[in-house]
Amino acid sequence: MTEQVTEKDVQLWVGPQHPGVTGNMSVQIWLRGDTIQMGRTHVGYLHRGFEKLMERRKFIQSFPIVCRICVPEPDTNEYLLAAGVEEIAGIVIPEKARWLRTLALEMARLAATLQALGGQVGMMGLGTVPNWTYTLRDYILDRFEELTGARIYHMYIVYGGVRRDLPEGFAARMEEDLRAIEERLPFIDNLIFDNAVFRKRAIGVGKIDPAWIDEMGITGPTARACGVPRDVRRNSPYLVYPELDFDVITAEGCDIFARAQVRRGDITQSIRIIRQILARMPKDGPYCARMPNMLHWTVEKGQTYVRAEASRGEMGYFVVTDGSDKLRRVHVRGPSYVHAVSLLERMLPGTNISDLGATMVSMQTCPPEIER
């Protein structure tokens, strides 16, 4: 116990099945009245030893593992594993694969952001918005199913490129979905940002001190809601992002409301990016480099760190190879590792217990990427 906690304080475990927790994770809190004195994040409910499993499998066999590290947005994990190994092995992917990978990543960001925005207000009891946003997310999952054969775990990005080209008529069907999302967005705006309940529970709640951003390594929408334009797509561009026109959305409040504003802006930017990709992508050309037999492929000794902008912030993979046919070590650095443990524990003292769930969800916590 630290100085701010006394024996008279009430200890309470929130989770791992609490609706305010975005996955199986617990927060142990010490309460005085209804004010949290101290909080401690506990994980371990989803640990399956993904990093260890990858050390025992051939390179290609790691894709069904990494996509499970974040259920709402698996494609970032697939991309980072592929990019890390390709960098060490010196593999250059074809031009069309760069566009198709960016498309998959942006579709995943859009689907995950819709889910997160709905989840944010849904946990405050405003059930209409998640009904809409989850339906809209399902439209994107329909396109994923068409593109990859799977709705959730796509395993679309592989070493050398992607598994397949766009199906016939994909762009037209995607455009229909994007229009459906755009038509619904004004209603969503009205029901979130002009809603007295949401404003009262979000403005000035879950504040982050901008000084913590560099100190703690805060990234993505959580940093951008403090006015810091931190976005890997712009700051350290990869794939075809340097060729695309998009804005890095920021807000100023540093609170739950500002983080929701950033997510809402991200939806518009993702739609904009997807349209540009479908309009400008090369029609022909290979979508995967010629690769050696995956059952016998060995990669020279090396190590690297690759990163990409997931919907929650910077996601990174530390990849180590040793010249064998298996990964020597993979360490996943998900944004939730910092946001939901160190940052959340720092934010909680002084918070009202009724704001705990909203604060946690506002950072789009994804527990599997903490424990892997």
Partner 1 sequence: MQTTLQALKNQFTVQWEKQQRADLHQVGLPREQTLAALTWLKEHTPFVQLTHMSVVDWIEEDQFQITYLLMNPRSYDLLMVCTRIARSGATMESVHKLWPQAVTYEQEMNEMFGVEFPGSPRQGESFILEGWEDIPPMRRDFDTVQFVLDHIPDRPGRLSINTREFIGRKVGEKRLLHD
Q: Which residues lie near partner 1 (CB under 8 A)?
A: 43-44, 47, 49, 51-53, 55-56, 87, 213-217, 230, 232, 235-236, 295-296, 303-305, 314, 316, 318, 320, 328-329, 331, 333, 337-338, 341-343, 346, 371
In single-letter form, the type of residue at position 110 comes to L
The secondary structure element, H or E, covering residue 221 is helix 220-224
Query: Closer CB to partner 1, residue 314 or residue 355?
Result: 314
What is the smallest separation between the CB atom of 330 and partner 1, expressed in angstroms? 10
Q: What is the DSSP letter of 166?
A: P
The answer to whether the beta carbons of residues 93 and 161 sit under 8 Å apart is yes
Query: Closer CB to partner 1, residue 274 or residue 343?
Result: 343
What is the smallest separation between the CB atom of 206 and partner 1, expressed in angstroms? 18
Give the distance, in angstroms, between the CA of residue 21 and the centroid of all CA atoms in the same chain: 15
Query: Closer CB to partner 1, residue 58 or residue 184?
Result: 58
Query: Closer CB to partner 1, residue 283 or residue 296?
Result: 296
In angstroms, the CA 51 to CA 307 distance is: 17
Query: Closer CB to partner 1, residue 139 or residue 238?
Result: 238
Residue indicated by tokens 């350290």: 236
Pairing of strands 313-321, 302-310: antiparallel
What is the smallest separation between the CB atom of 225 and partner 1, expressed in angstroms? 16
What is the smallest separation between the CB atom of 251 and partner 1, expressed in angstroms? 19
Percent composition of the chain: helix, strand, coil (DSSP 3-state, to 5) = 50, 15, 35
What is the smallest separation between the CB atom of 325 and partner 1, expressed in angstroms? 8
What is the smallest separation between the CB atom of 79 and partner 1, expressed in angstroms? 16
Closest CA to 9 of 28, 36, 44, 27: 36
Give the distance, in angstroms, between the CA of residue 269 and the centroid of all CA atoms in the same chain: 15
Which residues fall within 8 angstroms of residue 362, CB to CB, at 6 or more apart? 120, 202, 206, 222, 256, 259, 260
The secondary structure element, H or E, covering residue 118 is helix 95-122
Query: Closer CB to partner 1, residue 320 or residue 353?
Result: 320
